[in-house]
A = this chain, B = another copy of it.
Amino acid sequence: MKQDFFNLEINTNGQKLYEITDQTINWIEKKKFKEGILNLSILHTSASLIIQENADTDVLKDLINYFDKLVPMDNKLYAHTTEGKDDMPAHIKSALTNNQLTLSFKNKKLMLGTWQGLYLFEHRLEKHSRTLTHHIIGD
């Protein structure tokens, strides 16, 4: 059993779901691991990691719209307003989704469903640089 680490830097440009499935799979394939656990973490609390449908892009748009209605960008609702109207809603959206995902892989393949993709869910409006850590334990 051995371990390996890899940091993926993603430059985001506003609220969107950025698919990372291929970059993650490519990294696993390059390594000598056959089966194990891949632990993914995002080192920020105003963006998330989620698994979602990769078929109809309307799903991704609906997700953004839904979360925007659920967590309004309205400074009157929050005490933490110094970083902009989108910052506290971004922290809440992060709490409602995930900062980390733990995935299994077998025969060098990530165990995802046919319609599942891995996404960085950016909740801020401006440009940001996001660090995603990848960590494998396996054989």
Query: CB within 8 Å of B: which residues of A?
Result: 1, 3, 5, 35-37, 39, 41-46, 50-53, 56, 58-59, 61-63, 66, 70-71, 77-80, 82, 88, 91-92, 94-104, 106, 111-116, 131, 133, 135, 137-139
Also in contact, A51 and B99, with CB within 8 A (given A88-B59, A88-B62, A112-B43): yes
Whether A52 lies near B3 (C-beta < 8 A) is: no
Q: Among the listed B62, B94, B116, which residue makes an inter-chain contact with A79, where contact means beta carbons less than 8 Å apart?
A: B62
The A interface is mostly helix, strand or loop, or mixed, namely: mixed
This chain: copies in complex: 3
Whether A63 lies near B91 (C-beta < 8 A) is: yes
| Whole-angstrom distance between the Cβ of A118 and the nearest chain B Cβ | 10
